């Protein structure tokens, strides 16, 4: 068991690469699909090892594995998981499995290359969430770019070239700045080891001047903000999503976007708390703008895939607000919302993809009254839309509620205003999602082309049922998930509780808040707030 625990993360990360080797040998398309399916299933099962052997009381890293790699630069192969990354790993393997299933029939052109890239992407994403060495992290971060750009560019829709290149260049531009900052940190600290840097910064071994800290913060932040995407860095997202094949969209929305908030929680908050405090209100405002703007733009989209893409901008805005208000419950909510968004938006993209496979159009005008020909589909559609809207009992509600609660009680200026705007965002969110449902599912079946649409087959039903079930489980059994993340989250939040001058000013200005100067670590444990 010790051996498994000591190497499990490497097995999970690199198992898809073994699948690639097997894929190279597979001759027929059917064999290739089966190999890809088998690989992702095993990777998913391997990743389930993590929650089942998780020590919920431990806030630090578990399943650590460390090997010397490039000694001249003090680069190590260092992987580990904590509460921030645990569920994201499981989400990644789950959605990769889903990605293989939804590509079963839709990918007819060169399935071998498609699945090779999908598995490479899975390795990259898992690596991002588990790397604790900054060099390793950056390597995985960049490696996810390549397969994703190919997935969009080769198997995408009409404007795929534009979308693929835009996606690549946008992310590349952000990440080279991050590379510069990583090297800058290395020059200051002499190591790429995240845990050592964090301990050194906390322990005062290396001191960053305020200016340095702000620049480093911004370098990391812009790379992550492009990935989130935070308004105004979001313009690549609608293009990439609309043009990507379904599996690409699912993984892009479900996992790749999560690398942004994950990176902010891990690096921006973990390493540069003072700069995070100083810039938080700007970031929260941008997040709020994203919530409202994304929702409004989604509302007027004639293209349903673009609608879901803009809904991502809106939902990711919530996560940003949760992360940058520095309350335990809000941060927990943000982490939970990352998972929820992965599941629900992944589901929405699958729903869109199923219609596209049948009709080859994303145009909302082409649809209407689908419930009469595809009742099972319609049921899942409404279910998953409800989870995305934030209906109580389903997962979206938990995350949004926690974020809003956290924001409302947070010890930052204008917390109430932030919470109210975020709540408005929920309403606008319900507006466009229900609008979409009305136009697609309900009403008359006016378009004769839709008369003969086939309802879901067994594979599609299974995928959607799994997602629907997860939304319910995550809606009612949230403590199971949140208990495992809480120790790590409180650690992050506690590290942010350094009283900054700005913080003190806020407290002075509002005497009623005096008993809450370090509200962040004294909060009652979140989790089963339902």
Partner 1 sequence: MNLVPSVFYLRILPEIILSAFALLIMLIEGPARAGSRGRASGWVALVGCLAALAAVLVQAAHPGDAFHAMFRVDAFTVFLHVVLIAATAVVILAAMDYLPQQGIERGEFYALLLFATVGMGFMAGSVELIMIFIGLEISSIATYILCGFRRSNALSTESALKYFLLGSFATAFFLYGIALLYGASGTTNLYAMAAQGLHISFDGINHTGLVLAAAGLVFVGLGFKISAAPFQMWTPDVYEGAPALVTGFMSAGPKAAAFAVALRVFYVALGSTSAAWFWMIWAAAILSMCIGNLGALLQTNIKRMLAYSSIAQAGYVLVAFAALGDAGAAAVLFYLAAYVAMNIGAFAIISHWAHTDEKYVTLSDYAGLGFRFPWMGFCLSIFLFSLIGVPMTGGFFGKLYVFQAALHAHLVGLTVVALLNSALAAFYYLRVIVYLYMRPEEKPIACARFTAPLWLALASCLGVTFWLGIFPSQALDYAVKSAQQLLR
Binding site for partner 1 (CB under 8 A): 69-73, 110, 113, 135, 138-140, 142-143, 145-146, 149-150, 153-154, 160-161, 164-165, 168-169, 172-173, 176-177, 179-180, 183-184, 186-187
Least distance (Å) between residue 115 CB and partner 1: 14
Tell the residue number behind the tokens 């979001």, with chain if given.
234
- Which of 90, 164 has the CB closer to partner 1? 164
Interior angle at CA 345, CA 153 and CA 170, nearest 5 = 40
d(C-alpha 125, C-alpha 143), whole Å: 9
Least distance (Å) between residue 36 CB and partner 1: 18
d(C-alpha 83, C-alpha 81), whole Å: 7
d(C-alpha 390, C-alpha 431), whole Å: 12
Helix (H, G, I), strand (E, B) or coil at 77: strand
- Which of 140, 326 has the CB closer to partner 1? 140
Is 61 within 8 Å of 80 (Cβ atoms)? yes
Residue 9: strand pairing partners = none
Between the alpha carbon of residue 484 and those of residues 254, 292, 481, 526, the distances in Å are 21, 32, 6, 11
Is 402 within 8 Å of 329 (Cβ atoms)? yes
Q: How many residues does the chain have?
A: 530
Is 124 within 8 Å of 144 (Cβ atoms)? yes
Least distance (Å) between residue 168 CB and partner 1: 6
Q: State the alpha helices, DSSP H only, in 74-110.
A: 83-102
Phi-psi region of 28 (alpha: psi -120 to 50; beta: other; left: phi over 0): beta
Name the helix (H) or strand (E) containing 81.
strand 75-81
Is 496 within 8 Å of 409 (Cβ atoms)? no
Name the helix (H) or strand (E) containing 183.
helix 160-189
User: HEC states along 299-339?
Assistant: HCCCEHHHHHHHHHHHHHHHHHHHHCCCCHHHHHHHHHHHH
Spatial CA neighbour of 468 closest among 304, 350, 308 = 350
Is 103 within 8 Å of 114 (Cβ atoms)? yes
Least distance (Å) between residue 211 CB and partner 1: 12
- Which of 77, 480 has the CB closer to partner 1? 77
Least distance (Å) between residue 192 CB and partner 1: 11
d(C-alpha 484, C-alpha 498), whole Å: 25
Least distance (Å) between residue 183 CB and partner 1: 5
In this structure, the number of other CB atoms found within 10 A of the CB of residue 377 comes to 24
Is 355 within 8 Å of 369 (Cβ atoms)? no
Tell the residue number behind the tokens 């942010």, with chain if given.
496
Tell the residue number behind the tokens 């009469």, with chain if given.
372
d(C-alpha 468, C-alpha 225), whole Å: 29
Least distance (Å) between residue 96 CB and partner 1: 20
């Amino acid at each position: 068991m010790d051996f498994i625990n000591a190497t499990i993360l490497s097995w999970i990360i690199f198992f898809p690469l073994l699948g690639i080797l097997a894929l190279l040998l597979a001759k027929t398309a059917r064999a290739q699909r089966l190999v890809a399916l088998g690989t992702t299933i095993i990777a998913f099962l391997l990743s389930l090892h993590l929650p089942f052997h998780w020590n919920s009381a431990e806030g630090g890293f578990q399943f650590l594995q460390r090997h010397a790699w490039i000694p001249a630069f003090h680069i190590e192969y260092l992987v580990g998981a904590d509460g921030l990354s645990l569920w994201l790993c499981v989400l990644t393997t789950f959605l990769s499995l889903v990605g293989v299933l939804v590509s079963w029939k839709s990918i007819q052109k060169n399935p071998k290359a498609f699945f090779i890239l999908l598995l490479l992407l899975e390795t990259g994403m898992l690596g991002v969430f588990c790397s604790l060495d900054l060099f390793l992290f950056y390597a995985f971060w960049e490696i996810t770019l390549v397969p994703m750009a190919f997935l969009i560019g080769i198997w995408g829709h009409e404007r795929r070239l534009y979308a693929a290149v835009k996606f690549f260049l946008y992310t590349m531009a952000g990440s080279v700045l991050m590379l510069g900052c990583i090297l800058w940190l290395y020059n200051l600290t002499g190591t790429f080891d995240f845990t050592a840097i964090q301990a050194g910064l906390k322990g005062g071994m290396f001191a960053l001047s305020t200016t340095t800290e702000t620049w480093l913060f911004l370098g990391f932040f812009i790379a992550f903000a492009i990935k989130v995407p935070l308004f105004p860095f979001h313009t690549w997202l609608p293009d990439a999503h609309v043009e990507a094949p379904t599996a690409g969209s699912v993984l892009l929305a479900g996992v790749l976007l999560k690398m942004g908030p994950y990176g902010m929680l891990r690096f921006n908050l973990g390493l540069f708390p003072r700069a995070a405090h100083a810039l938080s209100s700007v970031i929260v405002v941008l997040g709020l703008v994203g919530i409202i703007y994304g929702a409004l733009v989604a509302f007027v989209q004639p293209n349903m895939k673009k609608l879901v893409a803009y809904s991502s901008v809106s939902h990711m805005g919530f996560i940003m607000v949760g992360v940058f208000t520095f309350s335990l419950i809000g941060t927990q909510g943000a982490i939970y919302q990352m998972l929820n968004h992965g599941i629900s938006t992944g589901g929405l993209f699958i729903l869109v993809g199923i219609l596209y496979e049948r009709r080859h159009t994303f145009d909302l005008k082409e649809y209407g009254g689908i419930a009469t020909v595809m009742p099972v589909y319609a049921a899942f559609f409404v279910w998953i839309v409800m989870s995305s809207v934030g209906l109580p009992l389903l997962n979206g509600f938990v995350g949004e509620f926690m974020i809003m609660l956290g924001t409302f009680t947070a010890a930052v200026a204008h917390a109430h205003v932030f919470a109210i705007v975020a709540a408005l965002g929920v309403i606008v969110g319900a507006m466009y999602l229900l609008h979409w449902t009305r136009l697609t599912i309900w009403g008359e079946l006016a378009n004769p082309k839709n008369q003969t649409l086939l309802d879901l087959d067994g594979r599609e039903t299974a995928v959607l049922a799994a997602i629907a079930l997860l939304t319910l489980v995550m809606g009612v059994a949230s403590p199971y998930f949140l208990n495992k993340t809480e120790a790590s989250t409180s650690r992050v939040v506690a590290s942010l509780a350094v009283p900054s001058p700005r913080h003190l000013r806020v407290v002075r200005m509002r005497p009623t808040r005096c008993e809450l100067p370090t509200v962040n670590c004294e909060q009652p444990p979140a989790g089963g707030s339902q």
